[in-house]
A and B are shown apart, each in its own frame.
Chain A
Amino acid sequence: MNEPLNQQKPLSKRSNVIPVYGALSFAVLIAIVGAAMMTLTSSPQMKGAALLWIPAALQLVAGVWFGPFLGLLSGGLGAYAAGIIAYGGWGLVDIIMNPIAGGIANSLLPAVLFRLFKIDPTFGASPKDIKKAMFSILSLLVVVFAIGVLPIYVKELSIWAYIAAIVLLLVGSPILLNKLIINKIDFFVALIIAIISCFFSALLGTFGVVVSGNTWQAAILGTGIGWFLGDTVSAFLGIYALVYFTERALKMGLVKKYWP
């Protein structure tokens, strides 16, 4: 006999298959969006090395929600499929740049680190607050980056530009986030995890370009820097998506709670 509706267990307890469906759906989504990004924003140096990799947001979310194993499958297979659809990328270089960089660095790494530090993906904040935080931090990073590259051109600035950039970052971020009701430590750790993941992803991608016959210097300038910046911006979007959708995903049974 069927249980009455009000006595039914939540969806998450009734089925462990839901996260698998979720991971599969994410893989398909990553493949579609990724193929479009690879077609539109590929580095002139290397086919498939997309400089604006929006799926980094989806890969991060997949890792955090579905855990290391399903996240790796979702992020890695999705990126591999994207490469195959966009330019028929089956080979060794494509494996390094897509399933390895996309799966391990963009999905598995955040999944493991978020769990290790028990980070609440909602940061106890409202989406409105997190939008302002994202805006402020992203803007600050762009200004810091611009000041950081200045000494290459204006030699007199030399070390002072780096000092100014670091001071701006250290003083600016607490001021900008001052009035926000948000778990700031979790939020900062999450941003650092996103940056580290994107750095490793860019490193693996650059290695892929080197394997294809380029020098490290050319690979870093032509692909690595763009890869890192594009992925970081997208991963930050992923953090915003986490705040916005995690509560709903919990109710749907897509996410198993790992944070206190």
Chain B
Amino acid sequence: MVTPSLAASILVFILVGCFTYSDNSLLFLESKFARIAIFLVLLFNAAYYFYYEWYSELDKQMHSALEKETKIGWFLRVLGQCILYLLWFLLDYGWIWFQIGLLGLYTTYIFWSILTWEIHPKKILAWIDFLGLLLSALFLFINVQNLLPKPDHDFLLGIIAMAYLIITFLGIYLARFNPFNPKLWRNK
């Protein structure tokens, strides 16, 4: 079964998100569509993060591999979760800080993947992290350059939200870990 701290983390993350959305903190975004798209970007990123955490905690192979993890790896995981939570506040500070935060989040994933390269049972997941990093860099670059006229921003944000959704699905598909497997819940 999922640990209470992880379950609480997921809950708190969603609650903070709902509060941010209802508090009109996202009003600087041009349209309702943009606000929903950016809300989804955050949600998909969190889904990917928490799924991975869940997988690390419950999958036997992954769990035993992580016992060999170094201290730096542990700190990187803490840093990753801090950045994930910070994303809501960074969004309040402005667009660019949110994008830098996303890039920072995937950079911690990448460093962690490099650190655990030898012991990780599913190295393909590292490439999913790389895709996320690439997408975050592209997201930053497109915004910086303002390549598209304003009416097309919604369309672009929709595409970016979809791309993060695909990354989340790819990660879940390739990890092939079912957190709702009754056996996992019974063993604990």
Which A residues form the contact surface with B (CB < 8 A)?
131-132, 135-136, 138-139, 142-143, 145-146, 149-150, 152-154, 176, 221
10 contacts between A and B (CB under 8 A): A135-B114, A139-B114, A139-B130, A143-B103, A143-B107, A145-B141, A149-B140, A149-B141, A150-B140, A176-B114
In angstroms, Cα B126 to Cα A136, docked, is: 10
Type the 1/0 row for B91-116, where 1 means its CB is closer than 8 Å to any CB of A: 00000100010010001001001100
In angstroms, Cα B141 to Cα A138, docked, is: 17
Q: Which residue from chain B places its CB closest to the CB of A175 in the assembled complex?
A: B114
B134 within 8 Å of A (CB atoms) = yes
**Other 19 A-B pairs with CB < 8 A, given A135-B117, A142-B137, A149-B145:** A135-B113, A135-B114, A135-B127, A135-B130, A139-B114, A142-B130, A142-B133, A142-B134, A143-B137, A146-B103, A146-B140, A146-B141, A149-B140, A149-B144, A150-B140, A152-B144, A153-B144, A176-B114, A221-B145
Are B126 and A135 in contact, with the CB atoms below 8 A?
A: yes
CB-CB under 8 A for A145 and B130, given A135-B114, A152-B145: no
Are B103 and A132 in contact, with the CB atoms below 8 A?
A: no
B8 within 8 Å of A (CB atoms) = no
Chain A residues with Cβ below 8 Å from B110 are 139, 143
Are A154 and B96 in contact, with the CB atoms below 8 A?
A: yes
In angstroms, Cα B141 to Cα A152, docked, is: 10
Type the 1/0 row for B129-168, where 1 means its CB is closer than 8 Å to any CB of A: 0100110110011011101000000000000000000000
Chain A residues with Cβ below 8 Å from B127 are 135
Are B114 and A136 in contact, with the CB atoms below 8 A?
A: yes
Number of interface residues of B (CB under 8 A): 22
Are B137 and A132 in contact, with the CB atoms below 8 A?
A: no
In angstroms, Cα B123 to Cα A152, docked, is: 35
User: Which of A139, A142, A153 is close to B96, meaning CB atoms less than 8 Å apart?
Assistant: A153
Are B137 and A146 in contact, with the CB atoms below 8 A?
A: yes
In angstroms, Cα B133 to Cα A143, docked, is: 8
In angstroms, Cα B136 to Cα A145, docked, is: 11
The 10 closest A-B pairs by CB, nearest first: A146-B137, A139-B110, A153-B144, A142-B137, A152-B144, A153-B96, A132-B117, A142-B133, A146-B103, A149-B144
**Min distance, Cβ A49 to any Cβ of chain B, angstroms:** 15
User: Which of B117, B123, B137, B145 is close to A145, meaning CB atoms less than 8 Å apart?
Assistant: B137
Are A221 and B144 in contact, with the CB atoms below 8 A?
A: no
Chain B residues with Cβ below 8 Å from A176 are 114
Counting chain A CB atoms within 10 Å of each CB, the highest count among B103, B126, B141 belongs to B141
Q: Which residue from chain B places its CB closest to the CB of A152 in the assembled complex?
A: B144
In angstroms, Cα B127 to Cα A142, docked, is: 13
